[in-house]
Amino acid sequence: MEYEFTIVVPLFNEEPNLLRVEQELENYLKTAPVKTCILFVEDGSTDGSLQLVQEISRRNNDFKYISFDRNYGLSSAIKAGFDHAETSLIGYIDSDLQTDPADFDLLLEHIGEFDLVTGVRTNRKDSFIKNLSSVVANVIRRSFTHDGMDDTGCPLKVVKADYAKRIPMFKGLHRFLPAMILLQNGKIKQVPVRHYPRIAGKAKFHLLNRLVGPLVDCFAYLWMRKNYINYKLAEKHE
């Protein structure tokens, strides 16, 4: 049976988490409503993450990986995952497992009608400063994009591959995935999902890059929105 759904897992220096990631995703694959595979995107880690990802992929037929020659950042890792997935549906989850793979089922319920379905983290288990900076960043982003999304930073999403593969690359992309689908005249939806504290590894974002980064990236998005090329074929002869 061919795969229908690829779960992209970007990672950078997440060695302490990866065995737990393997176990949780193995458990999800047993109950997933569609035939699912895992694609790790190893983002130039300096710990033992790459070696562990290689081992995991060798012992699990449903697990694949690609690796970068150096660290390029989360947006590049997500985009590479989109580009290399070979299924009609693509999901995204962070390797810190602060969201639950089982909640993909909640998103998949709606993906037929919508082109991107994103989670909204409920009862977030982060620090006060992290939660506050996230709220502020989302307010800034919504004021520019008018995408209506409350939590674009939620690392649990499902998107149709036709739309994902047309998203142009730029830094900060991961904050604008719903807006980039809207630029393609796609339909988006948000669904509440569970959230858990990080129990291993270190967070890669801090107060400064949660606030300054989104503000700068909003201006990049405005340029993109103004210059984005969107077309539909009326006819094709082959």
pLDDT in tens, 137-172: 666 666 666 777 777 778 899 999 999 999 887 777
Domains of the chain, earliest start first: 5-227 (3.90.550.10)
86-137 residue pLDDT tens: 999 999 999 989 999 999 999 999 999 999 999 998 876 555 556 556 666 6
CB 181 within 8 Å of CB 139: no
Supply the Cα-derived Rg of the chain in whole angstroms: 17
pTM of the model: 0.83
User: Each residue of 85-119: b (16+ CB within 10 Å) or e?
Assistant: bebebbbbbbbbbbbbbebbebbbebbeebbbbbb
Predicted local confidence at residue 37, as pLDDT: 98
Token pair, residue 238, equals 């082959």
Which stretch of DSSP H or E encloses residue 6? Answer: strand 5-11
117 with 92: CB under 8 angstroms? no
